[in-house]
Structure 1
């Protein structure tokens, strides 16, 4: 009999400027260091919704002010790395925003060393595969509201 596991909830925010997206370069975290990742992302805290987490993370990581209604849901992804490691059993909300207050800048230099705008047609390397799948969906259109990553079909 398979054992039950808890899913780790997280919210990701991709700020959009035309065909560009803001990404951050992670460093010194022990997770995805050296990768370009969503401008803001993090775990949903107890007592907050995924949308509230996205607003909070954008403020904490980029210094921008988002209103909840500024966020558009791109997809909700159920993700795994194929192992039974609890850290890799996730459900993640991917949000986009085209309106915000304040210029985005690195707010947590112990976790990210740079933020930069990238064309969806010319993304940096490396980007985590699961985030790349979302970015390609944003570029190409037709991103499903519910998606999966890492499961054997």
Structure 2
């Protein structure tokens, strides 16, 4: 299956070791009503890192440098009953930024303690990979969603 949607996701974190992560409550569009990291589509001619910092700025007002992104992994999502939803996502951790996250028309940013993530209000795949990334492990994973497009039917995860 050829995937046409390529996206980015940044997890802003606080603490060393990580104690808090910024998630965005999606107010509209794909994933509305769920909490997720901050990110979006890569525009034609744009690098993955440039797309990530652009999306962060557009969705939260936070300014970052591409040099401050730490590669945390690559995810592939298949939605067999809705192939146009299938996508790839590059994940980054962000520890340095300028400004405070502010609500926009698309996202309401909320800081969560990593031991109290709202998994029941996130995409089903989040329980599989967030704990690894927040423990400083890089992940490569493939998720296939079931016919309801809500629950993970199969998953393959590796750390490197």
Settle same-fold status: TM greater than 0.5.
yes
Matches within 5 A, 1:2-151: 4-18=1-15, 19-29=19-29, 31-38=30-37, 40-81=38-79, 83=80, 85-106=82-103, 108-109=104-105, 111-112=106-107, 114-124=108-118, 125-144=120-139, 146-150=140-144
Which residues of structure 2 form unaligned runs of 5+?
145-152
Shift, 1:90, TM fit: 1.3
Between stretches 97-106 and 126-135, larger displacement belongs to 126-135
TM-score between both structures, scaled by the size of structure 2: 0.80
Runs of 4+ with deviation above 3 angstroms: 139-143
Task: State the alpha-carbon separation in 2 of the partners of residues 46 and 52 from structure 1.
Answer: 11
Task: State the alpha-carbon separation in 1 of the partners of residues 89 and 9 from structure 2.
Answer: 7
CA contact (8 A) 1:16 1:96 kept: yes
Shift, 1:24, TM fit: 1.2
Shift, 1:78, TM fit: 1.6
Task: State the alpha-carbon separation in 2 of the partners of residues 139 and 13 from structure 1.
Answer: 12
Q: 1:112-145: CA deviations, max 9, x gaps?
A: 3x2111011110131112334331212344343x
CA contact (8 A) 2:13 2:21 kept: yes
**Counterpart secondary structure, 1:66:** coil
TM-score between both structures, scaled by the size of structure 1: 0.83
Relative contact order (C-alpha < 8 Å, sep 6+): which is higher? Answer: 1
Give the number of equivalent residue pairs.
143
The CA RMSD measured in Å over matched residues stands at 1.9
Task: State the alpha-carbon separation in 2 of the partners of residues 55 and 28 from structure 1.
Answer: 20
Which residues of structure 1 form unaligned runs of 5+?
none
